[in-house]
């Protein structure tokens, strides 16, 4: 296959010209939490994508890293100065079944520290991880490699989520390895560089608890609190406050997912990051037609991780997390369980609060009224009944900048996937109640519609557009990926140039399916 990707030549990336400022606080944990791991050099590393905006936000030397020679670093052939590569140990409940795992195809290079990014005198640290750099001590029978398509997919979707304002890990670069990866088919190999606040997961705590040594659980909890939840250090019960803070971030995160129609697809406990970021973009997808039972993952045969199940699964995962912390909540097991159960109840209440607040914003409402949740539920029921497109329904309600507010915001072009719903008498009745709610507010209706257009995306990462771009990339043509990224970086813009990206997928007899890529 002819490749237009940029090829690496000889360069010394071991000096500090890249701007990386590595620290390794994770190595202060007991040795059971990690194992030394070295990336395996690849044959012909070629820089496919580089995230200049992310690099600059991290204080890196974007000009150096954008050069083709940086493929040697991003591909794992050269280690940057200060890095101490490790694979992290963790466990997880995968589709409800407990398994001991670990980074089987990922290597953490270290924690890049950005001085002063958290305010005067403060700093932020970011995990820099290579995904697909070869086998680690936790690879079991796996090859430790990744295919180009799934790595580009993670780059695309994580950037889409970031632009939508949803907490997420991000991708700094994708490198083609010049080597094949053997899955069901022979695929081009790749390595992705992932940036995260950390890679500590619910499954990391499950792993610690499975060792039968409470001191390891406590060490991990103390480390995670210092790194992510220092505000809980002085609480009356710091470990309970820590759990409550994690649950609050997850409640807000899952609500944000659902407000844009995002389906994670594989919400195993090892894929729930305690930082509150979205992590692991394997079988994820965005929903076109609204249906809470929507599932895309090829391995989710029973809909465990369906769109509408995501809050329940998040609660289930948090229950597993709480179990690992029970001895830290209270020495009395009965009292500890009572505290954990009460905190889990708070998660459900918190999720509902974030969900309704977000839906109010999507519908242009400010303040609270007693019937808000019922009006939201009625709209969703009508959308499901009439197979309305989730994204385009809310965008059409938002109108366009030139639409008359007196037309209830529905004077925008008849966006695809909304025609049937908007033509029904039952929707007209609902819209009357929605508009009356807007007119009772102390802002002008036109301002409410403007607010709606700032939270209801015109563009999401439509599944068929993602697949088109990935298919072209596998043939060596990156133009479709770059165009898609350009569009996704401005999700609230409604332009002639992005009109094709606002169309739902064409009708098909075959349901859309996504895969893990392992």
Residues catalogued as catalytic = 270
Q: Are 39 and 133 in contact (CB under 8 A)?
A: yes
> Residue 274, CB half-sphere, CA atoms under 13 Å: how many?
27
Rounded CA-CA distance 437/360 in Å is 11
Question: What are the angstrom distances between the C-alpha of 321 and each of 84, 247, 251, 266?
Answer: 29, 10, 14, 17
Burial 60-80 (b: 16+ CB within 10 A, else e): bbbebbbbbbbbbbbbbbbbb
Tokens for 219? 């060490």
Both tokens assigned to 271 = 């894929």
Other C-beta atoms closer than 10 Å to the C-beta of 335 total 12
Q: Are 483 and 116 in contact (CB under 8 A)?
A: no
The DSSP secondary structure of 144-189, one letter per residue, reads -BEEHHHHHHHHHHHHHHHHTT--B-EEEEEEEEEEEEESSSEEEE
Name which of 385, 509, 401 is nearest 453 in CA terms: 401
Give dist(CA 57, CA 79) in Å, integer.
Answer: 22
CB 101 within 8 A of CB 280: no
* Secondary structure (3-state) at 365: coil
CB contact at 8 A, 70 and 7: no
Identify the CA nearest to 460 among candidates 490, 483, 481. 490
Q: Do β-strands 123-131 and 146-147 pair in parallel, antiparallel, or remain unpaired?
A: unpaired
Reference 273, options 116, 150, 138, 166; nearest CA is: 166
Residues β-bridged to residue 402: none
Paired strand residues for 145 = 133
DSSP, res 276: S
């Amino acid at each position: 296959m002819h490749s237009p990707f940029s090829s690496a030549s000889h360069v010394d990336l071991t000096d500090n010209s890249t701007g990386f400022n590595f620290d390794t606080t994770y190595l202060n944990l007991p040795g059971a939490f990690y194992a030394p791991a070295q990336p395996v050099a690849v044959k012909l590393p070629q820089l496919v994508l580089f995230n200049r905006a992310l690099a600059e936000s991290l204080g890196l030397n974007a000009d150096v890293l954008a050069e083709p020679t940086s493929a040697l670093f991003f591909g794992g052939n050269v280690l940057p100065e200060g890095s101490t590569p490790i694979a992290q140990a963790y466990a997880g409940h995968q589709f409800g079944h407990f398994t001991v795992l670990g980074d089987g195809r990922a290597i953490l290079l270290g924690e890049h520290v950005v001085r002063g990014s958290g305010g005067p005198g403060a700093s932020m640290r970011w995990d820099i991880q290579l995904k697909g750099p070869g086998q680690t001590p936790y690879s079991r029978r796996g090859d430790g490699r990744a295919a180009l398509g799934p790595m580009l997919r993670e780059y695309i979707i994580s950037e889409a989520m970031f632009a939508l304002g949803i907490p997420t890990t991000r991708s700094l670069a994708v490198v083609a390895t010049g080597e094949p990866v053997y899955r069901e088919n022979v695929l081009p190999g790749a390595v992705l560089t992932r940036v995260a606040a950390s890679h500590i997961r619910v499954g990391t705590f499950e792993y610690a608890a499975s060792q039968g040594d409470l001191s390891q659980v406590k060490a991990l909890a103390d480390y995670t609190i210092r790194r992510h939840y220092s505000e809980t250090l002085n609480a009356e019960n710091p470990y309970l406050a820590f759990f409550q803070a994690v649950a609050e971030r997850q409640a807000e995160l899952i609500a944000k997912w659902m407000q844009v129609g995002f389906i994670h697809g594989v919400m195993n406990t090892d894929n729930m990051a305690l930082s509150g970021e979205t992590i692991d973009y394997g079988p994820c997808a965005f929903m076109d037609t609204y249906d809470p039972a929507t599932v895309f993952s090829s391995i989710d045969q029973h809909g465990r991780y369906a769109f509408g199940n995501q809050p329940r699964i998040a609660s289930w995962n948090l229950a597993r997390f709480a179990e690992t912390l029970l001895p830290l909540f209270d020495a009395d097991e009965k009292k500890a369980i009572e505290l954990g159960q009460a905190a889990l109840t708070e998660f459900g209440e918190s999720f509902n609060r974030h969900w309704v607040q977000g839906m109010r914003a999507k519908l242009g409402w400010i303040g609270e009224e007693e019937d808000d949740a019922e009006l939201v539920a009625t709209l969703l029921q009508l959308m499901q009944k009439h197979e309305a497109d989730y994204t385009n329904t809310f965008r059409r309600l938002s109108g366009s900048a030139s639409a008359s507010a007196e037309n209830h915001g529905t004077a925008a072009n008849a966006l695809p996937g909304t025609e049937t719903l908007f033509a029904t008498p039952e929707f007209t009745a609902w819209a009357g109640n929605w508009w009356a709610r807007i007119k009772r507010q102390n802002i002008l209706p036109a301002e409410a519609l403007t607010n709606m257009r700032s939270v209801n995306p015109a563009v999401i990462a439509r599944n068929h557009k993602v697949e088109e771009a990935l298919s072209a990339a596998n043939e060596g043509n990156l133009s479709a990926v770059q165009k898609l990224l350009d569009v996704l970086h401005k999700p609230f813009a409604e332009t002639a140039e992005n009109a094709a990206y606002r169309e739902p997928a064409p009708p098909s007899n075959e349901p859309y399916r996504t895969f893990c890529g392992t």
